[in-house]
Chain A
């Protein structure tokens, strides 16, 4: 469960602000967050990740207050808009990265299962420059899921995909969320993406989050 309790934050120069943002996304829910460009959606995701510290308020993940914890202590998976694959690492190293950092014992088995699930066995020895947009997206998802997070934060992960790949990616995200019992917060500009995926649809408006709809996607 993702809970935000009165989160506030002001951008340098006062360009925009988050004002007492509160929301609760139940366990195993696919939530979609929409809002205009520059309204603070990415900032909100970064606050949940621990990459930015809020001016006020608390972040709770599964009931645990993580506001002051380091990003690595939060048990989250994060896929940013540009996917942020490590430039000098092969796909194999990218996916093994969280296993190595966390010293996970059954890492090899986890990686093998993910690689098969995402259909990227043939990409394991490639560098990011040698991957298509859709392949990069799968690798970024595999890397995030290798850390076995309970919460997955996706910041416009489908924005760079063409129409055909986009449809497949939507299906993939839906399947992964269900199979891994993830609580997902997915930022998007696309109303059709929100309608297709969102069990809970949220909108960031004038620095506040409002719930637009709840229901099965």
Chain B
């Protein structure tokens, strides 16, 4: 009876993974290596790839910089209303992506938003692409960093305080070196999340070829003109990058 139970669960898992294998295999089999190479050599695709790599790295870097202090605060400090703050930090995860884009667009129509635009123009610019990726990716980085600090004992930092360190020095010299794997995982997860971001970028930064076009936008643009071959080739490239990120995260040994 017990054996049957575990066999059933194994079959469910295997079935789910096989379904995904079929999806990826079908996508991979649709395009030939020659067609794939031809697609990636197109100037607009090369531009979109370069811009994606650049904006994802910028968004993931800034997400990590924000996630470290917030994750540390949430893991180490008790304060009134913490449950509400914790829930609020997850808002970008549960909001529909298009809504995030509309929120950004509307914010930059306000007087504060327009004042910011005078210093750094965001709407329909590359900076806007980074911002649209950042607002969602940061939530994932924060969640990962909070989990990392939750799993680390606060005791070494407390001992550091008795040895002459300030709170900042305890974070810098003790907590951060111990959390380096979690930091790498947070960076990779927010990077991968940024790579797949489409809705907010389309609404807030637009889909202008050779300007604000990133890989998901390319897939959409190619599909919209009926160029399925190119859309599939770009999608395959994104699958390869996503798998590489997943392997990196797993290799760090962090459960995220």
Contacts and interface: CB of A to CB of B under 8 A. Distances in A.
Interface of A: 46, 49-51, 70-72, 74, 76-80, 82, 84-89, 97-98, 101-102, 143-144, 146-147
B40 interface: no
A85 B156 contact: yes
Given A78-B159, A80-B159, A86 B174 contact: yes
Question: B-side binding surface: helix, strand, loop or mixed?
Answer: helix
Nearest to B163: A98
A84 B153 contact: yes
A51 B156 contact: no
B80 interface: no
Chain B interface extent, by class: 10 to 19
B163 A143 contact: yes
B161 A80 contact: no
Interface of B: 152-153, 155-156, 158-166, 169, 173-174, 177-178, 180
- Which interface residue of A78, A82, A88 has the most chain B CB atoms within 10 A? A88
Contact of B164 (A84, A87, A98): A98
24 contacts: A46-B158, A50-B161, A50-B162, A71-B162, A72-B164, A72-B165, A76-B162, A77-B162, A78-B158, A79-B159, A82-B155, A84-B159, A86-B156, A86-B177, A87-B156, A88-B177, A88-B178, A88-B180, A97-B163, A97-B165, A98-B163, A101-B164, A101-B165, A143-B159
Nearest to B165: A101
A85 B159 CA distance: 9
A143 B163 CA distance: 8
B59 to A, nearest CB: 27
Contacts of B156: 84-87
B161 A51 contact: yes
A51 B158 CA distance: 7
Nearest to B169: A101
Residue of B155, B159, B169, B173 with most chain A CB atoms under a 10 A cut-off: B159
Contacts of A82: 153, 155
Nearest to B152: A87
Contacts of A86: 156, 160, 173-174, 177-178
Given A50-B161, A82-B153, A143-B159, 13 more contacts: A51-B158, A71-B158, A71-B162, A80-B159, A84-B158, A85-B156, A86-B173, A86-B178, A89-B174, A98-B163, A101-B163, A144-B159, A144-B163
A70 B153 contact: no
A135 to B, nearest CB: 17
A87 B169 CA distance: 15
A47 B192 CA distance: 45
Given A80-B155, A82-B153, A82-B155, A87 B161 contact: no
